[in-house]
Structure 1
Amino acid sequence: MEIIAKIPYVIVNRKIEDNTQLHKEEEHKITLSCERVVTSFDSFLLEEVLDISFRFFSSEEMGLLYLHTTKGMYSYTVKTSPQHFIEQFKQMK
């Protein structure tokens, strides 16, 4: 499986201990290959991914990357611009 592009995404886990809310970020990767898009928890064949879009939610490049698939829409919080990842996907489609 040749990797065409990859981008890191974060999952924020929140829990309350001793009346204090704690935040812990876990970093994962989304990988694009010739056959599929793979995350830490899901795997989609390329023909199952209809589109990929991105929306900023702060003044930085942080935002939500959306995978529009035949199984539904999946969102991932990214801290870097996904432009290269999206361009590579669109070239393959």
Structure 2
Amino acid sequence: MYLIAEQPYFKVQREVSSIEQRDVEYERTIYMYNEKIVTQHREFSIENVLDMSYRVIGKEGGLLYLHTNKGVYSYTVKSSPQQFINAFKEHVK
């Protein structure tokens, strides 16, 4: 198994205490290997990923969508994941 590409993404989690509410941003990475795609909490066999797409939201960044046979998973990115998507499409040809 070898690494093909990686894409940073981030997760915003709201933390609430008795006196305040704040949003904490966690930076994570999606790794694409020749056999699977791995995120912080999920693993997708490359055969189960049907497609990838990207939608710009706001002035910069957007959502990277992984279309799988079990549904669509979205990941918030700060920059275009086009190179990651292109690497996937080249790999699954």
Please give the TM-score of this superposition, normalised by the length of structure 2: 0.92
The whole-number CA distance in structure 2 between the counterparts of 1:38 and 1:17 is 32
Listed as ranges, the matches of 1:7-18 within 5 Å are 7-18=7-18
Identical-residue share of aligned pairs (%)? 48
Aligned to 2:70: 71
Aligned to 2:51: 51
Q: Which amino acid in structure 2 is aligned with residue 40 of structure 1?
A: Q
Deviations 1:17-60 (A, max 9, x none): 34532010011110111111111111111110000000011111
Q: Which amino acid in structure 1 is aligned with residue 88 of structure 2?
A: F
Listed as ranges, the matches of 1:1-93 within 5 Å are 1-60=1-60, 62-93=61-92
Q: Unaligned 5+ residue runs, structure 1?
A: none
Aligned length: 92
Q: Unaligned 5+ residue runs, structure 2?
A: none
The whole-number CA distance in structure 2 between the counterparts of 1:16 and 1:46 is 37
